[in-house]
């Protein structure tokens, strides 16, 4: 079949096939275009006003002071517009001569989870679908705690024919379970706390001195600040989730979707590495309430605890609460040495 379809009389004509092919192309294109226009993309609050400048922002530690100021101003403006209130984004650095530490009295904790809720409110965590919590309170079955049996080692009646079921645990010895005997329950719903025969074990970021999460981060967005707090530059995070896999304490949370933070519940006093609103695809975790602690205040969880189970202070100061706990109380460490040097301690009186 000849390609040139022009008629001999000079009039430019098309074959029926060409016409139909073009008509088909136009139809598909217009239909697809209509569909594309009709589909309204779901733009989340936290990202709808993100500018190019924010997208191409450098790593915070590599920015000049001027660039940092610009970035903070940009964020303040954006958050203020989005949440309809004056939002401040602070970048107060770590204080000299401070190494922050935390101690928690598991004997006192009543499992009320007020710390969890206070943390969510203070740190602008996603509220619903999904509800993200940085503190997890494990509910444990209380064993037969016996201080006398602690560290006694193997009992005399040990025999290989009848091996014991349990290993050394809190308050027990090699063959007698005393503390942690059942699986924890993160989302327990008790009518009344503390429940009989239960004790509670809150867990959050341990702010390790040798943090595995920092070692694995391929873009160095997470690092240890001079006061010992492990921070995250949310704008630099690529969401690879390597840190989540590396953390032996399961303390990091991933934003699978856009966080759901109602404007009226948003805490406007934020810190760049702390509680400023996060975006989809980044990792977040406890940071000892940087926005508070760097201004001389206690973290929200410490402040809200009704039984005073939580102690916080400067590990470099021998007179601080946390150092006094370490000196005078019965402190626990993980049996399996992970060499992460956590700065979060569990103790009993």
Q: Dihedrals φ, ψ of 40, to 5°?
A: -85, 115
104 has which bridge partners? 310, 346
Smallest Cα–Cα separation from 250: which of 168, 311, 166, 338?
A: 338
- Shortest Å distance, C-beta 316 to another protein: 6
Distance between CA atoms of 200 and 305, rounded to whole angstroms? 13
- Shortest Å distance, C-beta 191 to another protein: 21
- Shortest Å distance, C-beta 212 to another protein: 14
312 has which bridge partners? 102
**DSSP assignment of 219-236:** T--EEE-TTS-EEE-TTT
Q: Does 145 bind another protein (CB under 8 A)?
A: no
- Shortest Å distance, C-beta 247 to another protein: 9
Residues with Cβ within 8 Å of 7's Cβ and at least 6 positions away in sequence, in order, are: 13
Q: Dihedrals φ, ψ of 76, to 5°?
A: -60, -45
Q: Does 333 bind another protein (CB under 8 A)?
A: yes
Binding segment toward another protein, per CB under 8 A, in 126-134, 213-221, 267-275, 295-303? 126-134
**CA angle 220–216–57, rounded 5-degree value:** 20
- Shortest Å distance, C-beta 254 to another protein: 7
Q: Considering only residues 285 through 304, tell me which ones interact with another protein, judged by CB under 8 A.
A: none
Q: Does 327 bind another protein (CB under 8 A)?
A: yes
Residues with Cβ within 8 Å of 240's Cβ and at least 6 positions away in sequence, in order, are: 218, 219
Q: Does 315 bind another protein (CB under 8 A)?
A: yes
How many residues line the site for another protein (CB under 8 A)?
Answer: 71
Q: Considering only residues 147 through 186, tell me which ones interact with another protein, judged by CB under 8 A.
A: 150-151, 167-170, 179-180, 182-186
Q: Does 256 bind another protein (CB under 8 A)?
A: yes
CA 65 to chain CA centroid, Å, is: 27
Q: Does 206 bind another protein (CB under 8 A)?
A: no
Burial of 124 (0-12, 13-18, 19+ CB in 10 A): buried
Q: Which is nearer to another protein, 63 or 106 (CB)?
A: 106
Q: Does 281 bind another protein (CB under 8 A)?
A: no
Site string for another protein, 24-53 (x = CB under 8 A): -xx-xxxxxx-xxxxx-xx-----------
Burial of 232 (0-12, 13-18, 19+ CB in 10 A): buried
Binder of another protein out of 210, 215, 220, 297 (CB under 8 A): 210
Q: Which is nearer to another protein, 66 or 165 (CB)?
A: 165
Binding segment toward another protein, per CB under 8 A, in 62-70, 75-83, 135-143, 281-289? 135-143
Q: Considering only residues 233 through 252, tell me which ones interact with another protein, judged by CB under 8 A.
A: 244, 249-250
């Amino acid at each position: 079949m000849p390609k040139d379809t022009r008629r001999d009389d000079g009039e430019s004509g098309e074959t029926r096939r060409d016409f139909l092919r073009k008509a088909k192309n136009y139809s598909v294109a217009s239909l697809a275009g209509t569909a594309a226009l009709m589909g309204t993309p779901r733009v989340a609050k936290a990202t709808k006003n993100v500018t190019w400048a924010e997208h191409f922002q450098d790593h915070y530690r590599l920015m000049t002071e001027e660039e940092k100021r610009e970035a903070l101003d940009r964020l303040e403006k954006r958050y203020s517009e989005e949440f309809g209130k004056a939002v401040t984004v602070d970048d107060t650095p770590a204080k000299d001569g401070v190494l922050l530490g935390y101690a928690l009295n598991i004997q006192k904790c009543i499992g009320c989870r007020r710390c969890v809720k206070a943390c969510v409110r203070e740190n602008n965590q996603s509220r619903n679908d999904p509800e993200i919590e940085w503190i997890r309170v494990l509910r444990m079955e209380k064993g037969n705690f016996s201080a006398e049996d602690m560290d006694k080692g193997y009992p005399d009646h040990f025999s290989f024919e009848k091996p014991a079921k349990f290993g050394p645990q809190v308050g027990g010895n090699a063959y007698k379970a005393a503390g942690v005997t059942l699986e924890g329950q993160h989302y327990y719903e008790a009518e009344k706390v503390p429940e009989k025969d239960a004790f509670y074990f809150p867990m959050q970021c341990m702010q390790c001195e040798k943090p595995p999460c920092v070692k694995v981060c391929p873009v160095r967005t997470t690092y240890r600040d001079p006061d010992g707090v492990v921070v995250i530059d949310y704008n630099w995070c690529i969401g690879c989730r390597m840190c989540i896999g590396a953390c032996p304490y399961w303390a990091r949370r991933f934003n699978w979707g856009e966080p759901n933070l109602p404007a009226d519940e948003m805490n406007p006093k934020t810190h760049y590495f702390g509680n400023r609103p996060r975006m989809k695809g980044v990792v977040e975790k406890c940071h000892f309430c940087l926005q508070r602690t760097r201004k001389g205040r206690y973290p929200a969880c410490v402040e809200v605890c009704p039984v005073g189970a939580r102690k916080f202070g400067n590990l470099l100061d021998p007179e601080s609460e946390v150092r006094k706990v370490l000196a005078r109380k019965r402190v626990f460490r993980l049996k399996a040495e992970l060499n992460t040097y956590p700065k979060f301690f569990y103790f009993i009186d």
